[in-house]
Amino acid sequence: MKTAALSAALRLGLDRPLRWLRRKSAVVLMYHGFTDRPSDGLVNYQGNRLQQETFRRQLAFLKDHCHLVTLRQVAASLSGGPALPDYAVALSIDDGYESVYTLGFPVLREAKAPATLFVATQFVDERIPLWPDRLEHAFAGAPGDAAARREVLKGLQRRAKGLVPDQRERLIAPIEAELGRALILDASAPETYRPVTWAQGKEMADSGLVEIGSHTHTHTIVTLLDEESARRELALSKSLVEKNVQRPCDLFCYPNGDYDDFSPKTSLYLKDAGYRCGLTTVAGFVAPGSDPFEMLRFGTDDRDSFEKFRMTFSLGRNLLQAARRGLA
């Protein structure tokens, strides 16, 4: 019903005045990875890996209706640099999955669309799996009803999110041992969990289309760390990107990135480390004068209809989300 109503509104052009009203504000879109196969109900149950054809369709819409800009242009504009064009959109991709190179990058090249890839450098440099993937992989091969396994998985992922690395390991390792499903990122690992290589990252950066930024080293929520650990995460991830990609790394996005996951202190850490922005996962537009170290984004995933995606670029989706927050 919601999709039918949105489709009718879009056919009538009701989104156009709402798009015009926000034309001076940029949209930063958030992706995580890509796929060319449907979810089995457990692997990719959150829809974080977007279908390649959906990504292609989205970029075609953006090319027709928006101005694609780099994230560095957005950050520069917020720090007193040149103003962005109307209807500016920047693409960001979190984590650093290999599917960005194998499935996402070909679509970016077709569309000549710039994007920023934020890598968790331990994932890429040491091929240590991201902790949500370890849990998902363990439960994907476990016996029992898929829906029941998914609910247990959701609860464990919520719990693990609020832990620092040592605590997370003490939670996850026994589960992997009990289920007999440890995720090792060798050549036999499922493609969906594998990280991009540094050579692939450099190739994308050398193309001029993809900027490589930091997503910390261990993919830990920065506000959970003490100051020394937080500063080490930011410095180490920055240095690893610069060493391997041979380009400056001054763009950053917060793991998880919700309201409790960044603060004035984390902004200070980022500035001191030489970053020019910090991206959150809080939904909203980037208006002129916004804080570049608390940059808002809109997420898109395989659960979203194309109509909902189109509404991202008008005030409509923003007003609906604000209403939901008020009700909550």
What's the pLDDT at 4?
Answer: 65
Q: Is 167 a residue whose pLDDT tops 50?
A: yes
Q: Is 315 a residue whose pLDDT tops 60?
A: no
Answer for the pair 277, 71: CB distance below 8 angstroms, yes or no. Answer: yes
Q: Is 317 a residue whose pLDDT tops 70?
A: no
- Identify which has the larger pLDDT, 131 or 38: 131
| pLDDT tens figures, 51-100 | 999 999 999 999 998 999 999 999 999 999 999 999 999 999 999 999 99
Which of the listed ranges 187-196, 269-278, 279-288 does the model predict with the highest average pLDDT? 269-278
Q: Is 23 a residue whose pLDDT tops 60?
A: yes
Q: Is 322 a residue whose pLDDT tops 70?
A: no
Task: Work out the burial of residue 2: count CB atoms within 10 Å of its CB; fewer than 13 is exposed, 13-18 middle, 19 or more buried.
Answer: exposed
- Identify which has the larger pLDDT, 326 or 221: 221
Q: Is 318 a residue whose pLDDT tops 70?
A: no
- Identify which has the larger pLDDT, 224 or 305: 224
| pLDDT tens figures, 68-79 | 999 999 999 999
Answer for the pair 74, 286: CB distance below 8 angstroms, yes or no. Answer: yes
Q: Where are the beta strands (DSSP E) in 26-154?
A: 27-31, 33-35, 49-51, 67-68, 88-95, 115-119
What's the pLDDT at 31?
Answer: 96
User: What is the C-alpha separation between 320 and 328, in angstroms, rounded?
Assistant: 12
Comparing 111-115, 136-140, 268-272, the range with the smallest average pLDDT is 136-140
- Give the model's confidence band at 1: pLDDT under 50 very low, under 70 low, under 90 confident, else very high: very low
pTM over 0.75: yes
The CB density around residue 7, as the number of other CB atoms within 10 Å, is: 14
